[in-house]
Every structure is written in C-alpha cells, then in structure tokens.
Chains A and B, each alone.
Chain A
C-alpha cells in the first residue's frame, strides 16, 4: 500500500478497512483540522474535541465515501457541519464563548489580526480563513460553501481589502 499517495486513494483504502491509510490521513490532517476549529473557537479543549469528532465521523462514513469530490472538501465539509452544530448548541446555551477564539497569551500582532478578522462579515471571514489558513483553492472553497467560484473570488477580494484597511488603522 502506498501511504504517500493522494488523499483520495488513501480514503478509498480506508473504505476497504485499511488502518495504515487512516493513520496516514490523520497524520496529514490532524494539525489543519485542529487549526480550523482553534481559529474559530475560544475553548481549546472543545476545539480538540471537535477535531476528534471530525476524524471519527470520517471513519464512520468511510463506507459511503465516493471519489466524486476532493478529499479535502469532504473532510472540511464534515468539520464545517460539526462547527455549525456546535454554534447552534452554543447559541441556545447563553454565556458560551464558543465563537470567541481569544487567549490572553496572544502577542499584540496576533490579537490585532484576530480583532480585524472578527470585524469582517461572516461570509467574507469564512472565505478568507479557508484561503489563508486552510490553503483551500477557490474551487474547493466554492464546493464547500456551495457557491460559484466567482463569488468566492469576489468575497475573498473584498475581505482582503477590508483587512488591509483594518490592519492599517491599528
């Protein structure tokens, strides 16, 4: 088994019950998925919980996986659904700080970036984060958010221009 192959081929191996293939995918995506949640949530423990749930959901749904989309889109779609569910739950639970990704240990520069990101509207923020930190292509973002690629491009441009203004004014 080629554990250096593409994500999609490894996922097909997982579908067949391959443990090494799952380990390989975990090792590739443990950090990015954890980072995805960590930049969107204030509670590091909860972020790690959701990262764990993402991989468990990936494993649970492995039998249904079909190579119709990029694996990254598939994986981040799971993560995005879990995050949405978490936010809905948190919205019902007043006092939760799930959406507050602040920690006191952050340096000023980081704090400034995060404050600027928080001031973006939800659609621009999501596109910007997926591009800057998850390094998803425009096409992957479009597939994930279910919008046209042109929409992704325009949202991303507006988000970056807004960030430029917000970062300049600090």
Chain B
C-alpha cells in the first residue's frame, strides 16, 4: 500500500515539467528526502534516456520540393499563381465576353408560354420590370416613343415582332376634331378618300398560366404598338381571374399586335372583321357639301331681309337646323376615320382553370415524377444545346492556353520553394 503523500505519477509529471510552479516546489522538496521517489524518478529518466536512442533518418530534400510542387503557393492572395485555374477562368471569360452569334429564332411557336417570358419570333428575352405606368396617347407617336422603343431594345424585341416602328399610319391622315371645326368654319371641302376605308376589329380570347403579370405585359404590348386601352377591367369569376379590355391599335400595327398577344397563352377564340366605310364617307361628304350650300343661301336670304318677319324667323330656324346637320355629319366622319385609323381589339384573358387536387398520394407522386422527368429532360436538352453551341470554340481556346500553361506549370513546379531546416 502506497502511503506516500506524492503519487508516483505526480513525480513523473514533475520530471516532465508538467506541474504548476507551486505544486512543482512541493514535489521537489519531497524528492530531496524520499529515497523511494528518487528511485522512481531515476527509473523514469533511464527509460527516457534509452528511448532517445531511437532516432530516425532525416527527411529527404525532395520532401520540400514535393510539397512545393503539389501545393503551389498558399491559397489566398496567391490564387492567381494557380495557372490552370487562371487559364480556365480566362477561357470561360473569353467565351462569355465574345459577341456570339445568336441562334436563328424559331419561326413557329405553339403551346404554353409563361407571361413572364413572352417570346416572339425574334428573341427569347424575358421581360424586365414594368415601367412606371403612364397614360398612353397618340401624342406618344413620334421621336419620344421611338426613343423609348429603342431604349427597351431587346425587351420590345421580345414582345413585338421586332419590326421598325418608324412608319406612322398612312391609310387616313389624322385630323383632330379641332381641325374639322376650323375646316367647317372655313367651309373647306372634306377630302374624298380614293382607297377603301376599312375599319377593322378583332376579338381574341386567351387562357394564360401566369396571370399575375399579364396586365403589365398587355399594356406594354399596346404601348409598343402605339395604341391605347379604351377600357380595361380585371374581374374574378368562377375561380378564374379575367382581364377584359378594348384596345385601340393603329391599323397598320393590328396584325403584329395580335401576333404578340397570341404569345401570351393559349388562344381560345379569335375573330376578325372588316367594314368598308368608303361609300358612307363619300355620301356624308356630299351631304355636308350640299348642306353648306343651303347654309350659304340661307345666310344670303337673311342678309337681304326682304320678306315678312315670320319668313325671317323661319329662315333663322332653317339655318340652325342646317348647321346642326353639318356638325352631326362632321362628327360621323370623324368617328368613321377614327375607326379606320385605329382598329379595335376586344381582348379577354383568363387564367387556367383551377386544377383539382390529386385524389390520392399516388396520383400526386406520379404527377411529381412526371414533372421531375420533364424538368430533367429540359435541363439535359439545355446542357446539350449549350455544349453543341460553345464546345468547339471552348476547345480551341483551351488548346491555345494549354501548352503555354503547361510549360509555365512545369517550370514553376521544378523550382523549390522551401528549404529543409539545417
């Protein structure tokens, strides 16, 4: 039984210098008087002395070379030293920066397209955030609107058919109500149209998947084509969101507008009508001319005032009626020309009918599986397309980099970065 106040392990710890100063002083004092502990300490020292005989050879000088060669330089600010990485990054940058020729656009597109990524025959660019809404009017036709069109660039290219917007309406020159009034006061003749005056209107019913941004997209399409929304309403009926709008589009832009609207979703119904107003226009112009002649004669009669008072009053009444007829017919002509100049689009957009919830777990899982496979297929197709498109050039660029990089790599690898300690 060990009756020592100091355990042998403590003596060992003291010999190893592993005790705190206070404890070490106590053990040192004990050792000076305890022969048994002195013997333990001596045997421990003897073991350590014998073990020190086991030495090993020095590491070879190649160790430093190998560490230097494998490690390169420490990571951090020396990352650029890693030439293969630098070469690869450079190659990728070159690929990304080069002005690649875009692939030819598909000419026919069918099926669903999310509203947020409206596509046309020109490009597949997604829509940017909507511009601040503003009231569009015919006043936008001109340099400002064209400048805005140019500013939106690819965006508009993604919505519209990307044709130049410079051509203004040409079928009938626009004349405002004020111009008509001035012409009427001056007694100017109404121009007689020589070409057919076709007033066109269209009806388009669509179903879209993503209803959230459809209003912005419609407004943007209308704005791009220099039209305006005569009315627009959002309703919710039978579990479906609906947008109904009457759009007024410059006649030359009608076809392109309809084409862009069709890309919003699935076309449920579409119809177009055209009405020739030329005959009505000519008839109205003739009647206005006749009424003006009558008006002039009545004015002449009243100026002479040779009859009875009752005749004068009757002539005044007749003059008032004739003026009223003229103004009404002028308004009809104005409306007619407006119908010809701006086609009408009756638009109705609804979101997809709510999908009934899967009736069972298995049905939900199978649907998820189908969706997953679809996504996988699309992803693989995208990767394959990217590789086919860029891989040849990438290979060329990597080959150009490969030999200089390899030469540098070997040269730098052969240089020792470390010394072994002497």
**Interface on A for B, CB 8 Å cutoff?**
14-19, 22-23, 26-28, 30-31, 34-35, 38-39, 44, 48, 51-52, 55-56, 59-60, 62-63, 107, 109-110, 113-114, 117, 128, 131-133, 137-138, 153-154, 156-157, 160, 163-164, 167
Contacts and interface: CB of A to CB of B under 8 A. Distances in A.
Interface stretch (B55-63, B94-102, B187-195): B55-63
B65 to A, nearest CB: 10
B346 to A, nearest CB: 64
B47 interface: yes
Contacts of B62: 48
B60 A56 contact: no
A31 B9 contact: no
Contacts of B419: 23, 27
Nearest to B77: A17
Contacts of A63: 75-76
Contacts of A114: 54
Nearest to A150: B9
A30 B63 contact: yes
B421 A30 contact: yes
A167 B94 CA distance: 70
Nearest to A16: B76
B67 A52 contact: yes
A35 B56 contact: yes
Contact of B78 (A17, A55, A131): A17
Listed residue (A30, A38, A39, A137) with the most chain B CB atoms within 10 angstroms of its CB: A30
26 contacts: A17-B77, A18-B76, A23-B418, A23-B419, A26-B64, A26-B67, A30-B64, A30-B420, A31-B421, A38-B56, A38-B57, A39-B54, A39-B56, A52-B70, A55-B67, A55-B71, A59-B74, A59-B75, A60-B75, A63-B75, A107-B53, A110-B53, A110-B54, A114-B54, A163-B50, A164-B47
Contact of A137 (B18, B59, B66, B417): B18
Contacts of B59: 30-31, 34, 48, 51
B57 A131 contact: no
B73 interface: yes
B43 interface: yes
B16 A131 contact: yes
Contacts of A44: 57
Contacts of B8: 157
B229 interface: no
Contact of A31 (B44, B47, B52, B58): B58
Residue among B48, B55, B58, B74 with most chain A CB within 10 A? B74
Contacts of A132: 48, 51-52
Given A110-B53, A113-B53, A163-B47, A19 B73 contact: yes
A154 B420 CA distance: 37
A34 B63 contact: yes
A113 B50 contact: yes
Contacts of B283: none
B12 interface: yes
Interface string B374-414: 00000000000000000000000000000000000000000
A132 B64 CA distance: 26
A51 B50 CA distance: 26
Interface in B271-319: none
A14 B77 CA distance: 10
Contact of A153 (B13, B54, B417): B13
Nearest to B66: A52
Contacts of A133: 51, 54
A109 B50 contact: yes
Contact of B9 (A14, A51, A154): A154
A66 B78 CA distance: 20
A101 B59 CA distance: 15
3 closest cross-chain pairs (CB), A and B: A17-B76, A34-B59, A17-B77
A123 to B, nearest CB: 16
A131 B420 CA distance: 24
B46 interface: yes
A46 to B, nearest CB: 13
B281 to A, nearest CB: 81
Given A31-B58, A138-B13, A164-B46, 10 more contacts: A14-B74, A17-B75, A19-B417, A22-B74, A31-B59, A31-B421, A62-B75, A109-B53, A157-B9, A163-B47
A138 B43 CA distance: 20
